[in-house]
Amino acid sequence: MTTNEVCDVSEELNTDISSSSFDVILNKKIAEINELYELKTRNKKLTNNVNEINFMDKQLYNKINAAIDKKYKESKQYKKKCENEVQSAM
């Protein structure tokens, strides 16, 4: 074997090892997401008891919901809905 052939073989082995470890990590994450999805669809919630959620997570959820709400209220759809409500009230 020449030096180039040895390098090619070693690169292929490294690629196989890195892709297989990536595949393992990817499969674990997919399994984790599927498990969470099954729990959510079965219970309709990720937690049965709201008190189980710690303070930092509650703050994060509130910030996310506030950002979504702000984005919705700035949208054209919301403004049009408000205009329609005002016109129908008159």
pTM of the predicted model, to two decimals? 0.39
- Specify the residue for token string 């052939």: 5
Residue 1 DSSP one-character state: -
Half-sphere CA count of 81, side-chain side, radius 13 A: 7
Q: Could you report the per-residue pLDDT of 49-78, keeping only the tens digit for each?
A: 777 778 888 899 899 999 999 999 899 888
Mean pLDDT, all residues of the chain = 77
